[in-house]
Chain A
Amino acid sequence: QSALTQPASVSGSPGQSITIPCTGTSFDVGGYNSVSWYQQHPGRAPKLMIYDVTDRPSGVSQRFSGSKSGNTASLTISGLQAEDEADYYCSSFRSTGTLMVFGGGTKLTVL
């Protein structure tokens, strides 16, 4: 069982926007601004898309944005494109027990 909760799947049509939530606790997502999001295509290593809740690494499209409210962080992808179809994982620093925790992953399908 993953420490952070994500929906198993989300879907959207090209051009639409979708949001993937990641729910934790006050010991991780809610208590620290160390939430990251990763994109993973089949057979590839994960790719960092968002770090520190809202920051984008160089080269990542502005269509990807992050936010947080309480114990839930969110990844929003606007202007969906076929290439966005992938698995998405959130992660967070955690102050108790395990130092870093991941979500179970969300499969994004672009219809």
Chain B
Amino acid sequence: NAGVTQTPKFRILKIGQSMTLQCTQDMNHNYMYWYRQDPGMGLKLIYYSVGAGITDKGEVPNGYNVSRSTTEDFPLRLELAAPSQTSVYFCASSPQAVSTQYFGPGTRLTVL
């Protein structure tokens, strides 16, 4: 099993550009999460999903969108990138609510 995979690993965007961060898990987990990690701030939840077709906002959803058309995939869309979105983004999955989360390796995004 590959676990949770994320692409790309690194990306530089210009202000106003858009992009999609990809996340795929092969563990058949219903729950999936997107976090951003800024220095000294731990992890902040952006969006999460409890199953295909169901998504909900986390603590910091503004400027992002998600979709969950399959159990395996949970892409994160950035529209009109801003410097404040410079961060490391982690995708995670878990078999149940508030159980062990399995994290991907992260995507380091810089917006200039």
A is bound by B? no
A interface residues with partner B (beta carbon < 8 Å)? none
